[in-house]
Amino acid sequence: DAVILGNGSNEIIELLVRTFMSPGDHAVTSDNSFSVYHLIVRAANGNITMVPMQDGHYDLKKIRESITSRTRMVFIANPNNPTGTIVTTADVRDFMNSVPEDVLVVFDEAYAEYVTSPEYPDDMSYLRAGHNVAILRTFSKIYGLAGLRIGYGLTKIEITNMVNRVRQPFNTNSLAQVAALAALDDTSHVENSRRINKEGKEFLYKEFDSIGIKYLPTEANFIYFQTGKDGREIFDAMLKEGVIIRHMGGQNLRVTIGLPEENRRFISALRKVSGR
Protein backbone atom coordinates (compact mmCIF):
# COMPACT_ATOMS: atom_id res chain seq x y z
CA ASP A 1 0.00 0.00 0.00
CA ALA A 2 2.97 2.33 0.44
CA VAL A 3 4.44 1.55 -3.01
CA ILE A 4 3.65 3.40 -6.24
CA LEU A 5 4.56 1.66 -9.49
CA GLY A 6 5.25 3.80 -12.52
CA ASN A 7 6.12 3.56 -16.19
CA GLY A 8 9.64 4.49 -15.15
CA SER A 9 10.25 6.76 -12.17
CA ASN A 10 9.58 9.69 -14.53
CA GLU A 11 5.89 8.85 -14.48
CA ILE A 12 5.89 8.85 -10.69
CA ILE A 13 7.31 12.38 -10.71
CA GLU A 14 4.48 13.41 -13.02
CA LEU A 15 1.88 11.65 -10.86
CA LEU A 16 3.12 13.42 -7.74
CA VAL A 17 3.01 16.82 -9.45
CA ARG A 18 -0.47 16.21 -10.83
CA THR A 19 -1.68 15.05 -7.43
CA PHE A 20 -0.25 17.75 -5.19
CA MET A 21 0.28 20.86 -7.33
CA SER A 22 -2.37 23.24 -8.65
CA PRO A 23 -1.74 26.06 -11.14
CA GLY A 24 0.36 28.71 -9.43
CA ASP A 25 1.79 26.36 -6.82
CA HIS A 26 5.53 26.25 -6.28
CA ALA A 27 8.33 23.67 -6.23
CA VAL A 28 12.06 23.90 -5.57
CA THR A 29 15.08 22.00 -6.91
CA SER A 30 18.63 22.70 -8.11
CA ASP A 31 19.54 24.49 -11.33
CA ASN A 32 21.85 21.71 -12.56
CA SER A 33 19.76 18.65 -11.92
CA PHE A 34 17.34 16.34 -13.72
CA SER A 35 15.48 18.46 -16.30
CA VAL A 36 12.25 16.50 -15.94
CA TYR A 37 11.49 18.24 -12.63
CA HIS A 38 11.03 21.70 -14.11
CA LEU A 39 9.48 20.40 -17.33
CA ILE A 40 6.69 18.58 -15.48
CA VAL A 41 6.07 21.38 -12.97
CA ARG A 42 5.77 23.96 -15.74
CA ALA A 43 3.55 21.66 -17.79
CA ALA A 44 1.20 21.65 -14.77
CA ASN A 45 1.23 25.50 -14.77
CA GLY A 46 3.28 25.54 -11.60
CA ASN A 47 6.27 27.67 -10.70
CA ILE A 48 9.67 26.27 -9.86
CA THR A 49 12.75 27.82 -8.30
CA MET A 50 16.05 26.28 -9.42
CA VAL A 51 18.66 27.09 -6.81
CA PRO A 52 22.29 27.38 -7.97
CA MET A 53 24.55 24.53 -6.98
CA GLN A 54 27.48 24.95 -4.63
CA ASP A 55 30.63 23.35 -6.05
CA GLY A 56 28.52 20.87 -8.01
CA HIS A 57 26.36 19.92 -5.02
CA TYR A 58 22.77 20.66 -4.00
CA ASP A 59 22.69 23.66 -1.66
CA LEU A 60 20.02 22.49 0.77
CA LYS A 61 20.30 25.62 2.92
CA LYS A 62 19.43 27.84 -0.05
CA ILE A 63 16.71 25.43 -1.10
CA ARG A 64 15.18 25.71 2.37
CA GLU A 65 15.32 29.50 2.12
CA SER A 66 13.47 29.32 -1.22
CA ILE A 67 10.44 27.53 0.24
CA THR A 68 7.36 29.75 0.37
CA SER A 69 3.76 29.39 1.52
CA ARG A 70 2.92 28.13 -2.00
CA THR A 71 5.67 25.49 -2.07
CA ARG A 72 4.23 22.01 -2.37
CA MET A 73 7.28 19.94 -3.37
CA VAL A 74 11.07 19.82 -3.22
CA PHE A 75 13.00 17.59 -5.64
CA ILE A 76 16.40 16.23 -4.57
CA ALA A 77 18.26 13.93 -6.96
CA ASN A 78 20.65 11.88 -4.86
CA PRO A 79 23.03 11.05 -6.51
CA ASN A 80 22.47 14.02 -8.75
CA ASN A 81 22.15 13.76 -12.50
CA PRO A 82 24.32 15.09 -14.21
CA THR A 83 27.02 15.88 -11.62
CA GLY A 84 27.08 12.51 -9.80
CA THR A 85 27.38 14.24 -6.41
CA ILE A 86 25.38 13.43 -3.29
CA VAL A 87 23.87 15.25 -0.35
CA THR A 88 25.12 13.67 2.86
CA THR A 89 23.43 12.27 5.94
CA ALA A 90 24.20 15.48 7.84
CA ASP A 91 22.94 17.68 4.97
CA VAL A 92 19.63 15.84 4.80
CA ARG A 93 19.19 15.73 8.57
CA ASP A 94 19.55 19.50 8.89
CA PHE A 95 17.24 20.07 5.95
CA MET A 96 14.51 17.70 7.13
CA ASN A 97 14.58 19.24 10.61
CA SER A 98 13.67 22.62 9.12
CA VAL A 99 11.40 21.90 6.15
CA PRO A 100 7.68 22.65 6.71
CA GLU A 101 5.56 19.57 7.39
CA ASP A 102 3.19 20.30 4.50
CA VAL A 103 5.96 20.20 1.87
CA LEU A 104 6.51 16.87 0.10
CA VAL A 105 10.23 16.10 -0.23
CA VAL A 106 10.98 13.85 -3.20
CA PHE A 107 14.27 11.97 -3.02
CA ASP A 108 15.08 10.73 -6.52
CA GLU A 109 17.47 7.81 -5.99
CA ALA A 110 17.72 6.52 -9.55
CA TYR A 111 21.46 5.89 -9.18
CA ALA A 112 21.51 4.86 -5.52
CA GLU A 113 22.75 1.34 -6.17
CA TYR A 114 26.07 2.73 -7.44
CA VAL A 115 26.83 4.75 -4.30
CA THR A 116 29.88 3.74 -2.25
CA SER A 117 30.12 6.74 0.11
CA PRO A 118 29.44 6.00 3.80
CA GLU A 119 27.89 9.49 4.00
CA TYR A 120 24.93 8.52 1.82
CA PRO A 121 21.73 9.13 3.81
CA ASP A 122 19.10 6.58 4.77
CA ASP A 123 16.09 8.46 3.46
CA MET A 124 13.81 5.59 4.45
CA SER A 125 14.35 6.62 8.07
CA TYR A 126 12.37 9.81 7.41
CA LEU A 127 9.54 7.82 5.87
CA ARG A 128 9.48 5.48 8.87
CA ALA A 129 9.38 8.54 11.14
CA GLY A 130 6.25 9.81 9.39
CA HIS A 131 7.69 12.66 7.32
CA ASN A 132 6.11 13.64 4.01
CA VAL A 133 8.70 12.12 1.73
CA ALA A 134 8.66 10.06 -1.44
CA ILE A 135 11.69 7.94 -2.36
CA LEU A 136 11.97 7.06 -6.04
CA ARG A 137 13.88 4.14 -7.52
CA THR A 138 14.12 2.79 -11.06
CA PHE A 139 15.02 -0.43 -12.84
CA SER A 140 16.46 1.54 -15.79
CA LYS A 141 19.98 2.03 -14.42
CA ILE A 142 21.93 -0.69 -12.62
CA TYR A 143 19.30 -3.34 -13.41
CA GLY A 144 19.46 -2.57 -17.15
CA LEU A 145 15.71 -2.65 -17.80
CA ALA A 146 15.32 0.83 -19.32
CA GLY A 147 13.37 -0.46 -22.31
CA LEU A 148 10.71 -2.04 -20.10
CA ARG A 149 9.97 1.27 -18.34
CA ILE A 150 9.34 0.45 -14.71
CA GLY A 151 10.14 2.27 -11.49
CA TYR A 152 8.68 2.59 -8.03
CA GLY A 153 8.15 5.09 -5.27
CA LEU A 154 8.02 4.49 -1.52
CA THR A 155 5.92 6.90 0.51
CA LYS A 156 3.17 7.19 3.11
CA ILE A 157 0.00 5.20 2.55
CA GLU A 158 -2.03 8.42 2.59
CA ILE A 159 0.07 9.80 -0.26
CA THR A 160 -0.16 6.56 -2.24
CA ASN A 161 -3.94 6.60 -1.92
CA MET A 162 -4.14 10.14 -3.27
CA VAL A 163 -1.78 9.38 -6.17
CA ASN A 164 -3.84 6.33 -7.11
CA ARG A 165 -6.83 8.61 -7.69
CA VAL A 166 -5.05 10.25 -10.64
CA ARG A 167 -2.98 7.29 -11.82
CA GLN A 168 -4.24 5.57 -14.94
CA PRO A 169 -5.11 1.89 -14.49
CA PHE A 170 -2.63 -0.61 -15.95
CA ASN A 171 0.15 2.01 -16.15
CA THR A 172 2.82 -0.69 -15.84
CA ASN A 173 2.71 -3.84 -17.94
CA SER A 174 2.91 -7.35 -16.53
CA LEU A 175 6.11 -8.23 -18.40
CA ALA A 176 7.93 -5.28 -16.81
CA GLN A 177 6.65 -6.27 -13.37
CA VAL A 178 7.86 -9.87 -13.77
CA ALA A 179 11.25 -8.67 -14.99
CA ALA A 180 11.53 -6.21 -12.08
CA LEU A 181 10.82 -8.91 -9.51
CA ALA A 182 13.44 -11.16 -11.11
CA ALA A 183 15.95 -8.29 -11.15
CA LEU A 184 15.53 -7.73 -7.42
CA ASP A 185 16.63 -11.34 -6.85
CA ASP A 186 19.62 -11.07 -9.21
CA THR A 187 22.08 -9.80 -6.62
CA SER A 188 25.08 -11.17 -8.53
CA HIS A 189 24.30 -8.88 -11.48
CA VAL A 190 24.11 -5.83 -9.21
CA GLU A 191 27.33 -6.73 -7.42
CA ASN A 192 29.14 -7.29 -10.73
CA SER A 193 27.84 -4.00 -12.14
CA ARG A 194 28.97 -2.15 -9.02
CA ARG A 195 32.43 -3.71 -9.28
CA ILE A 196 32.81 -2.82 -12.97
CA ASN A 197 31.62 0.71 -12.28
CA LYS A 198 34.02 1.17 -9.35
CA GLU A 199 36.98 -0.10 -11.34
CA GLY A 200 36.03 2.02 -14.35
CA LYS A 201 35.64 5.09 -12.17
CA GLU A 202 39.09 4.62 -10.66
CA PHE A 203 40.61 4.13 -14.13
CA LEU A 204 39.01 7.31 -15.49
CA TYR A 205 40.01 9.32 -12.42
CA LYS A 206 43.64 8.25 -12.93
CA GLU A 207 43.55 9.10 -16.63
CA PHE A 208 41.85 12.45 -16.05
CA ASP A 209 44.46 13.35 -13.43
CA SER A 210 47.30 12.37 -15.76
CA ILE A 211 46.10 14.61 -18.61
CA GLY A 212 44.84 17.49 -16.49
CA ILE A 213 41.08 17.09 -16.91
CA LYS A 214 38.89 18.68 -14.24
CA TYR A 215 36.11 16.44 -12.94
CA LEU A 216 33.69 15.97 -10.06
CA PRO A 217 34.11 12.76 -8.03
CA THR A 218 30.99 10.73 -8.71
CA GLU A 219 28.69 8.38 -6.83
CA ALA A 220 26.86 7.37 -10.01
CA ASN A 221 27.79 5.59 -13.24
CA PHE A 222 28.92 8.72 -15.06
CA ILE A 223 31.47 11.51 -14.58
CA TYR A 224 30.94 15.25 -15.05
CA PHE A 225 34.09 16.86 -16.45
CA GLN A 226 35.69 19.78 -18.30
CA THR A 227 38.61 19.87 -20.73
CA GLY A 228 39.09 23.65 -20.58
CA LYS A 229 37.75 23.95 -24.12
CA ASP A 230 34.29 24.57 -25.54
CA GLY A 231 32.15 21.57 -24.64
CA ARG A 232 30.23 21.54 -27.91
CA GLU A 233 33.46 21.43 -29.92
CA ILE A 234 34.74 18.51 -27.83
CA PHE A 235 31.39 16.72 -28.17
CA ASP A 236 31.40 17.11 -31.96
CA ALA A 237 35.03 16.01 -32.24
CA MET A 238 34.40 12.94 -30.08
CA LEU A 239 31.41 12.06 -32.22
CA LYS A 240 33.66 12.00 -35.29
CA GLU A 241 35.86 9.54 -33.39
CA GLY A 242 32.83 7.29 -32.84
CA VAL A 243 32.49 8.12 -29.14
CA ILE A 244 29.25 9.58 -27.79
CA ILE A 245 29.33 11.72 -24.64
CA ARG A 246 26.90 14.36 -23.37
CA HIS A 247 27.39 18.11 -23.70
CA MET A 248 25.92 19.74 -20.59
CA GLY A 249 26.42 23.38 -21.59
CA GLY A 250 29.50 25.58 -21.69
CA GLN A 251 32.64 23.56 -21.03
CA ASN A 252 30.72 20.88 -19.12
CA LEU A 253 30.56 17.31 -20.40
CA ARG A 254 29.37 13.98 -19.03
CA VAL A 255 30.60 10.50 -19.85
CA THR A 256 29.06 7.21 -18.82
CA ILE A 257 31.46 4.75 -17.19
CA GLY A 258 31.63 1.73 -19.49
CA LEU A 259 33.40 -1.57 -19.81
CA PRO A 260 37.23 -1.49 -19.66
CA GLU A 261 37.69 -1.48 -23.42
CA GLU A 262 35.09 1.29 -23.79
CA ASN A 263 36.78 3.41 -21.14
CA ARG A 264 40.15 2.99 -22.87
CA ARG A 265 38.67 3.97 -26.23
CA PHE A 266 37.07 7.05 -24.67
CA ILE A 267 40.37 8.18 -23.13
CA SER A 268 42.26 7.59 -26.38
CA ALA A 269 39.75 9.71 -28.31
CA LEU A 270 39.69 12.39 -25.61
CA ARG A 271 43.47 12.71 -25.66
CA LYS A 272 43.35 13.12 -29.43
CA VAL A 273 40.59 15.74 -29.64
CA SER A 274 41.74 17.75 -26.62
CA GLY A 275 45.39 17.74 -27.67
CA ARG A 276 46.61 16.32 -24.34
Q: What is the CATH number of the domain that holds 217?
A: 3.90.1150.10
Structural domains in the chain (count): 2
Say whether both 133 and 253 belong to one domain.
no
Say whether both 209 and 137 belong to one domain.
no
Task: Give dist(CA 45, CA 36) in Å, integer.
Answer: 14
Say whether both 67 and 162 belong to one domain.
yes
Say whether both 94 and 153 belong to one domain.
yes
- pLDDT tens sequence across 142-170: 999 999 999 999 999 999 999 999 999 88
CA nearest 124: which of 114, 115, 134?
A: 134
Say whether both 10 and 78 belong to one domain.
yes
**Range(s) of the domain holding residue 250:** 188-274
Task: Give dist(CA 151, CA 141) in Å, integer.
Answer: 10
Q: Residue 191: which residues within 8 A CB-CB, separation 6 or more?
A: none
Say whether both 116 and 141 belong to one domain.
yes
- pLDDT tens sequence across 33-55: 999 999 999 999 999 999 999 99
Say whether both 57 and 84 belong to one domain.
yes
Q: Domain ends where: 165, 185, 205?
A: 185
Residues 228, 232, 237, 241, Cα dihedral to 10°: 110
Say whether both 45 and 99 belong to one domain.
yes
Say whether both 60 and 196 belong to one domain.
no
- pLDDT tens sequence across 53-87: 999 999 999 999 999 999 999 999 999 999 999 99
Residue 206's pLDDT band (cuts 50, 70, 90): very high
Amino acid, res. 81: N
Say whether both 165 and 31 belong to one domain.
yes
